[in-house]
Chains A and B, each alone.
Chain A
Amino acid sequence: EAGVVQSPRYKIIEKKQPVAFWCNPISGHNTLYWYLQNLGQGPELLIRYENEEAVDDSQLPKDRFSAERLKGVDSTLKIQPAELGDSAVYLCASSLDSPTSGSSYNEQFFGPGTRLTVL
């Protein structure tokens, strides 16, 4: 079974330029997450989707960041314009959230991430 796919793996841009990251979750997974991982830190959630709906975007800096998940499958995270402080690794994860899961555990599977460098 293919894992979570992210592209590109690396991106170098100049500040004020736009950039977009793409994520393809594991087939059948209805929940998708974008995390931001700064150097030497643990990942922090940016946005969580359940199918097409963004159910938690409280940590997404909406002035420059946007995300979409069309048709409840692939997702794109965009930054416009990028700033120096946006240099980080952007991680995508997915999980299967069953409505009847109750007490069962829904593991999040992570992609390899996109390392963004803003010059």
Chain B
Amino acid sequence: GDSVTQMEGPVTLSEEAFLTINCTYTATGYPSLFWYVQYPGEGLQLLLKATKADDKGSNKGFEATYRKETTSFHLEKGSVQVSDSAVYFCALSRYFGNEKLTFGTGTRLTIIP
């Protein structure tokens, strides 16, 4: 079945450092890929998405590119801020989001000033 393997955390970085959180997936066909973020005390929020190979999703300085050849969707940000501290989840959906989402285990990111 479908699965998402996510870089294990927690990850601690200094402010303005470069961030990479790895995500690989297993799925048949052409799934849509997502990064969700969960800030303390809040619900999951969609951070960015990509629905076909070579698409790049971007939002709030974060980027991820859908790489079908490596079945990956790594999350990157060039300069992290304290406000980026949260738990990040990689996820896939077989179709366009209105089917179930299959999530990775999440990566807790802490940014220290």
Contact = CB atoms under 8 A, between A and B. Distances in A.
Contacts of A44: 103
Interface stretch (B41-49, B59-67, B71-79): B41-49
B106 A108 contact: no
Interface size class of B (residues with CB under 8 A): 20 to 34
Contacts of A110: 36, 43-45
B103 A3 contact: no
Interface residues of B, dominant DSSP: loop
A32 B46 CA distance: 16
Interface residues of A, number: 28
A95 B97 contact: yes
B44 A104 contact: no
Interface stretch (A35-43, A63-71, A75-83): A35-43
B97 A42 contact: no
Nearest to B89: A42
A107 B49 CA distance: 10
B101 to A, nearest CB: 6
B18 interface: no
Interface of B: 4, 6, 32, 36, 41-46, 49, 51, 89, 91, 96-101, 103-106
Given A40-B106, A41-B106, A43-B89, 15 more contacts: A42-B89, A42-B91, A42-B105, A44-B103, A45-B100, A48-B100, A56-B99, A91-B43, A103-B51, A106-B96, A107-B46, A107-B49, A108-B98, A110-B45, A113-B43
